[in-house]
Structure 1
């Protein structure tokens, strides 16, 4: 499952609509159809190139007489922190110090498009330290954060700064 959510690129259909959308049934072919899609990229993929490939594909496969219109809303380059980086090792040591157990690195597919730009412009690796549990329902209904883990997260951050500073 982790491969599906963190290792591989994806294309998601976020929504689609067209034709008659009112109450009751209508058996007509719609004159227009709409879709919203997004893609999760992995290292060595370019958001600009992928967007162009998708638009070219839709345009080239449209039947004669069908017009394809598309708008790019935003794009972001993929990002992954190497687990052998100083930044990651400092974070792992801080988590182990606070929680008493070595953390297991987990890749999570998400969209924080500023990360690749931060590394490019600032020359720093970005480290995400999540202190929630799967049962916290991140970005779902009844989302919560366990108070114990919240305070443990606060306790972890100074250790991260300490271990990070020692290695630089």
Structure 2
């Protein structure tokens, strides 16, 4: 049985316009923990998604979440680039152990096929953590456009068109 799309491109394309929402909207899992971060890292590895961990310019093997989040304040900024498919990229920032946070590039999310990949990515993270995964416009923290609804077990639009 084919899975019905969480969101339809024609219904949400206005919310995924880089000129309106910013090209790198903020995606987050609120009320998270170091354990949740580690679950996300485990999911990335288990899913076989291509990834690259770096601190500043140095590309390194992926450490445990606790090691990343307990780094000195003056250390190089860590990030984890994850490609659920070759043409969709998420960049995890490790800014806080109480919130899993990452950016996606809206310039890559054009059309139903890539939207489905993105929704699947949010769904996998949300299911693994049993928590909502919310996407805010770039720089508009706390005003989610869309997100994974754990009770509905799907990605839903959180704003009116």
Q: Same fold (TM over 0.5)?
A: no
TM-score, normalization by structure 2 = 0.25
Larger radius of gyration: 1
Specify which structure has the higher proportion of strand: 2
Higher RCO, Cα 8 Å, sep 6+: 2
TM-score, normalization by structure 1 = 0.24
